[in-house]
Amino acid sequence: MKEWDVVIVGGGMVGASFALALRATRLRVLLIESVSPDSAAQPSFDERTTALGNGSKQIFESLGVWQAMAAESSPIRAIHVSDAGRFGVARLDAREQGVHAFGYVVPNRVIGRALWQALRETANVTLAVPAQVKSATLRDDGVLLDVVTEVSTERGPERVTERIRAAVAVAADGAGSVLRASAGIEASVEDYEQVAIVVNAATERPNNGEAFERFTASGPLAVLPVTGGGYTVVWAVTPTRAAELVALDENAFAAELLSAFGWRAGRWTKIGRRNTYPLALSRAAETVAGRVVLIGNAAQALHPVAGQGFNLGLRDAATLAEMLAGAAAHPDGNEADFSELLARFSGWRAEDRRGVTRFTDGLVKLFGNDTPGVGLVRNFGLLLFDLSPAAKRALSRVSWGFAGRMPRLARGLPLE
């Protein structure tokens, strides 16, 4: 039986980042991913974009991969928040907060390409692709994993099951995590009854680094700047409305988008391919079970309204990598320390996770509440926020996390 110090299940953006963070350690790492990162079928690295907070950008800089992303990243220099049908707005300007940008919008495929190029050159990380975990058995001294891989034979490709042992098994395989289920960790799922329509689009004038969040009766509508002067649009609507909008031709969809969003970005001149994604809040009951630990969407999958899901998951990855690296480097370190270490990790990350989840879920429900009088309260709330420098400073720091332990990588420091 092959033995590994750390086995990571899931090579999406969080899993790949975590694996890369461990390259400076002496840990033997196996990364298992079911779909090749270069495949068009890889859902983690499709045409969607991710808004990286400044903390996440710093982590990527510390990992040495930001330069490979920078040319295709678009800085968010201003943010405009509005509530459809009401006059209250809130505006944030990066210069007023003393930062170059609030964050950077990067295509997921660019992030994936940079991470996996670096991983292929990492000596202590073995890549198992395509492969998938069939089941896991938790033991006091580790986790036994049954892994199915495809091998080439004279008769053609065959599927082979191999049992391996991990001192620590990390679930980074998304909201429907197989490893989480095998570990017996339950997850609650709250369906928002919304579908996100994601589309890249262009207008008659360049974006100038301004991002928009508009709350409509059907759901939030985010318009984020991308390189080339255009935007990526994330429009949350009911499933029925989503089907109607996707079925429209380009001109008709542009007209509907203009009606919902207004003229802030000008007239929409080009509409790209539209993709849809169901939206739900998924929360694991626990983030650690024995030697299994959850990070990223396996622990919590959020609504994209505030763009915090990946940033939260990356802080999970950076913190866990730091703790494992410290244990591995300690002269008296041994496997018996891992169970206690994972319990401490869960405690350290709890406050940040709760804070970001409440913030994101609260925004969706507050601006989706049509109870008489609530809209007026929201309207005055936006106006007061727009007049409060202290509130703007607080919101500008959201992408650094909601308290808890700030990872060394996010501070520009070495892992150990």
CB of 343 within 8 A of CB of 327?
A: no
Helix (H, G, I), strand (E, B) or coil at 236: strand
* C-alpha closest to that of 264 among 306, 308, 233: 233
- Domain presence at residue 346: yes
Is the model more confident about 15 or about 335?
15
Query: Please, is 230 exposed, middle or buried when counting C-beta atoms within 10 Å of its C-beta (0-12, 13-18, 19+)?
Result: buried
In this predicted structure, the answer to whether residue 16 has a pLDDT above a threshold of 90 is: yes
- Domain presence at residue 241: no
- End-to-end distance of the chain based on CA atoms, in angstroms? 30
CB of 283 within 8 A of CB of 357?
A: yes
In this predicted structure, the answer to whether residue 334 has a pLDDT above a threshold of 60 is: no
Where does 120-238 have alpha helices with state H?
178-182
Instruction: Look at residue 332 in the predicted model and tell me its pLDDT.
Output: 59
CB of 405 within 8 A of CB of 348?
A: yes
- Domain presence at residue 225: no
Report d(CA 181, CA 252) in Å as an integer. Answer: 43
Report d(CA 90, CA 394) in Å as an integer. Answer: 14
Query: Which stretch of DSSP H or E encloses residue 117?
Result: helix 108-119
Report d(CA 239, CA 244) in Å as an integer. Answer: 9
Instruction: Look at residue 271 in the predicted model and tell me its pLDDT.
Output: 95
Q: pLDDT tens digit string along 21-43?
A: 999 899 999 999 998 888 877 87
Report d(CA 58, CA 409) in Å as an integer. Answer: 7
- Candidate ranges 81-95, 140-154, 296-310; pick with highest mean pLDDT: 296-310
Report d(CA 232, CA 251) in Å as an integer. Answer: 17
Q: pLDDT tens digit string along 193-223?
A: 999 999 999 999 889 999 999 998 888 999 9
- Domain presence at residue 101: no
Q: Which residue has the tokens 């295509």?
A: 107
Which range marks the domain in which residue 309 is found?
A: 2-56+64-72+106-189+280-368
CB of 271 within 8 A of CB of 253?
A: yes
Question: What's the mean pLDDT when you consider all of the chain?
Answer: 90
Cα–Cα distances (Å) from 92 to 25, 67, 79, 383, 401, in that order, read 40, 27, 5, 12, 18
Q: Tokens at residue 217, please?
A: 């009766």
In this predicted structure, the answer to whether residue 398 has a pLDDT above a threshold of 80 is: no
- Domain presence at residue 14: yes
* C-alpha closest to that of 339 among 350, 318, 324: 324
- Domain presence at residue 89: no
CA 350 to chain centre: 17
Taking the alpha carbons of 326, 330, 333, 337 in that order, is the dihedral positive or negative?
negative
Report d(CA 241, CA 25) in Å as an integer. Answer: 50
Instruction: Look at residue 347 in the predicted model and tell me its pLDDT.
Output: 93
CATH of the domain at 362: 3.50.50.60
Q: How many other CB atoms sit within 10 Å of the CB of residue 248?
A: 15
- Domain presence at residue 141: yes
Residue type, 261: F
Report d(CA 382, CA 218) in Å as an integer. Answer: 19
Count of residues in the chain: 416
- Domain presence at residue 337: yes
Report how many domains make up the chain: 1
